[in-house]
Structure 1
Amino acid sequence: MPFTLVLGGARSGKSAFAQASAEALAAETGGRLVMIATAQAFDSEMAERIARHRQDRGPAWTTLEAPLDLAAALDGLGTGDVVVVDCLTLWLSNLMLDGRDAAAAASGLVEAVGRFEGTLWLVSNEVGFGIVPDNALARRFRDEAGRLHQALAQAADAATLFVAGLTLRLK
């Protein structure tokens, strides 16, 4: 089934695009709207942000929290599901902070996306446009994100880049 990779910077419009696209498709097909959220509330500001996002989506959305095992979350969904994963860079951060093998998890995600039978939008922050980070962890994160995005872009039916609320269709 179709899947779209949605890339962009913070507050670029990528999440709003993915959610609106999913809502339109679900209204047309009657599919179940599912948000797979990867954020973890490590502080009160993030807890408030997560609650606000959930409230803004409204009751039409089923929310699954998958901060670490994203492939298993996708594997548990059905054929008619209309799914947004938001976001891959938070997921990648969670993996790295938990000491997990990010490359193996990324490979598992690409495989799960290939098995998924619903419609999918994967949202991620493009972090490769900036300067080379000054520390090893940040450089490793940037490199892992770049490799993940390349693998998913190759597998995607479509890829879109968001900058300042404007879209550039990449594929």
Structure 2
Amino acid sequence: MRIIFWAGFAAFILDQLSKYIVIHMMELSRIRVIDVLPPLINFRYGENRGINFGLFGDGSDASRWILIALACAICVGILVWAYRHTLGYWAKVSAGLLIGGALANVVDRLLYGYVLDFLNMSCCGINNPFVFNIADVFIFAGAIGLIFLTPDPRVSPRKSAKKGQ
């Protein structure tokens, strides 16, 4: 569980630090647009009141608290699941990244009422209108890691060793 904690802590801190630097110190909330490496990486100020791509973002206080409760429930569910299963190092890191990213977005909702987004990436003539944050990257990477790095419970180590012989 220590690996999950430290991976989650690192994801949480990196996200909150990046938001503080870009939104507040670089004053993106005032400037609204900073081209970093156009078109690949740009900073665009965004307030996400919903989930991915602004879905369910009606801006109501009830939806805000529902999304906070849902994110916390998912974090607890992943922790319980990870505790009950034998996971390898990278699966534990993945669980930590997902939890840390989700909790970083929860803190945004508690502090601001919405999630601060600032990253925009476009490429190859495709203009991407959506913005996201570092926590979203950690959530996505953690979920993909859990999908691909969690051992299949139907295959025991003994069975897989016999298959390879």
TM-score bin (small chain): under 0.3
| Higher relative helix content | 2
> How high is the TM-score relative to the length of structure 1?
0.25
Which has the greater radius of gyration?
2
> How high is the TM-score relative to the length of structure 2?
0.25
| Higher relative strand content | 1
Between 1 and 2, higher relative CO (CA 8 Å, sep ≥ 6) is seen in 1
